[in-house]
Amino acid sequence: MSDPATGDGGIDANATGIDAVTLEVIRNACAAISEEMNANLIRTGYSPNIKERRDCSCAVFDADGKMVSQAENMPVHLGAMPFSVEAALDRYPPETLSPGDAVLLNDPFRGGAHLPDLTLVSPVFYEGEIVAMAANRAHHADVGGSTAGSVAADSTEIYQEGIRIPPVKLYRGGEVAADVMEIVLANVRTPDERRGDLRAQQAANETGRDRLNGLAGKYGPEGLELAIAEIQDYAERRMRAEIEHLPDGVYRFEDVLDDDGQGNEGIRIAAAITIDGDAVEVDFEGTAAQTDGAVNAVFAVTASATYYAVRCVTDPDIPPNDGAYRPITIDAPEGTVVNASPPAAVVGGNLEVSQRVTDVILGALAEAAPERAIGACQGTMNNVTFGGTDPRTDTPYAFYETQGGGFGGRASGDGMDGVHVHMSNTMNTPAEVLQTAYPLAVERYELRPDTGGEGEYRGGLGLRRDIEVRGHEAVFSLLAERRVHAPYGINGGADGGRGDDRLLRDGEELDLAAKSTHRLRPGDVVSVRTPGGGGFGDPADRDPEAARRDRELGKTSSEAVQDSSE
């Protein structure tokens, strides 16, 4: 039983003047506010990308822009969002903000990640003073640029990737800034959908404002401030305690991106992780210079992946706030693929580099925390975009989704089949929704047999998803990884199966490059076949009954082909 004077985890009530029970109530209240914000954003969003795939995240920050709580959604959003809040406050210091203001931004070089992710930051006022910040980030299915969906696999500079928005007030005193909204909507293919999703983001932040005002009213602004500071300090103490359990030393690992779509192959990401007492330093020296193609990440994305991976090998139940990240120092050399400089193309950095950074950090820490080691997951988001004119309505459309694959085997069991992994935590687009909203059809959707790496615990299976273009010509873009270099196995486990992509046209199967853009005809079918996860442990040690089930699953998967034309 915990000491009521300190509370669970060493909370010192005497240091704050707030008892431990109240601190825990406020901590959980802030987490619940983040979750309610996210539920509201999903419920009121217009696009299937937000309503169905839930490609969005919400968080609460203190008055200085330091994270207090987050909804458990997209890791790549959440670790990077503090950089957006910081950029918003740099542009608009507290004295320039008023109740009802909301700052919009997406510029990767000013707090953003990649252009499709629009972040909205709202100050929370109580009795004339800012007591907190509410923020959310949503992936918009189109923000302009050279291709519909704004995930151009062949972009070579950020200017090709869509509208670039520095921190600017989208709402002033609770009213939409019509001039700013007009500029945004004039640069996208689907303005009505964008307007609707932006309104949903505003509604989510209004939810946060209401609930945070309630907390300030109940505990007083000073009491809330003290409690938030202690909650952050508590997370720091727990993280430091977990790091202290890891053996001191320097742990190294490296992996590569297949290519950048511009002829550059085997793009190296290397990390040296130093554990020293209760602190971790991650050094990306030796990583490849930023490249010609779209697989460059800004520092915020690399930091997000690093924070996530360290949480995975310590204690994922540590409150994910500013305090939890204080013991982690990151050195990412400027001008590399993990800290790119403008005007680099960066759309794939948020999507693909973030996954490889995670693989590298987890690979390095496998030696320090073998009980938490894991075979590489699929290591890609398998980004798919379609765009064109919907023949049913004669209006433009833009469809974007990521696709699941295999999770890595680990000491506690087999990897999961057909899931989004690590930095992507979205759902799929249901076939019924996809076919209703777009002139497309899901022709085939199944697990890929034999793609999980063998091991004492096998890796999860990848997916196959075939999408047909119906009644129109479309532009299709694919941005994917792990088509050349397979997800690694660990502790003797085999590598996972690599991804593969095909265009089915007139009875033929044509290879698709994993980073490419194509003009499709009516009736063309794109077949995206995602990687499996790496195995864990010696396959000879696998339980015979589990091996028998593996064989049965492989047979079942190959025979259970679903074809909507039947």
Average pLDDT, the chain: 92
The residue among 476, 474, 517 whose CA lies nearest residue 388 is: 474
The pLDDT score that the predictor gives to residue 554 is: 64
Q: Does residue 114 surpass a pLDDT of 70?
A: yes
Length of the chain: 566
Closest C-alpha to 144, from 333, 316, 396 = 396
CB 117 within 8 A of CB 346: no
Residue 12 confidence (pLDDT) above 50: no
Q: How would you classify residue 275: left for phi > 0, otherwise alpha for psi between -120 and 50, otherwise beta?
A: beta
Q: Check pLDDT > 60 for residue 14.
A: no
Average pLDDT over residues 323-351: 96
Q: What pLDDT does residue 77 have? A: 62
Q: With 80 as the cut, is the pLDDT of residue 502 above it? A: yes
* 412 class by beta-carbon count within 10 Å (0-12 exposed, 13-18 middle, 19+ buried): exposed
Contact between 312 and 318 under an 8 Å Cβ cutoff? The reply is no
Q: Are 134 and 208 a contacting pair, CB within 8 Å?
A: yes
422: left (phi over 0), alpha (psi -120 to 50) or beta: left
Contact (CB, 8 A) for 10 and 233:
no
Distance separating alpha carbons of residues 168 and 198, to the nearest angstrom: 14
Q: How confident is the model at residue 13 (pLDDT cuts 50, 70, 90)?
A: very low
Does 343 sit behind a cis peptide bond, omega within 30 degrees of 0 on the bond before it? yes
Tokens of 426: 């979205």
Query: If pLDDT is split at 50, 70 and 90, which confidence band does 564 have?
Result: very low
Please state the separation of Cα 483 from the chain's center in Å. Answer: 21
Q: pLDDT value at position 550?
A: 82
Q: How confident is the model over 349-377, as a mean pLDDT?
A: 95
Return the residue matching tokens 């990649």.
114
Q: How far apart are CA 68 and CA 16, in angstroms?
A: 17
In single-letter form, the type of residue at position 55 comes to D
- φ/ψ of 389, rounded to 5, equals -110, 120
Q: What mean pLDDT comes out for the span 522-541?
A: 97
Which has the higher per-residue pLDDT, 129 or 9? 129
pLDDT band at 2 (very low <50, low <70, confident <90, very high): very low
CA distances from 334 to 90, 111, 339 (A): 21, 15, 5
16: pLDDT confidence band, cut at 50, 70 and 90?
low
Q: Name residues whose C-beta falls within 8 Å of residue 178's C-beta, 6 or more positions apart in sequence.
A: none
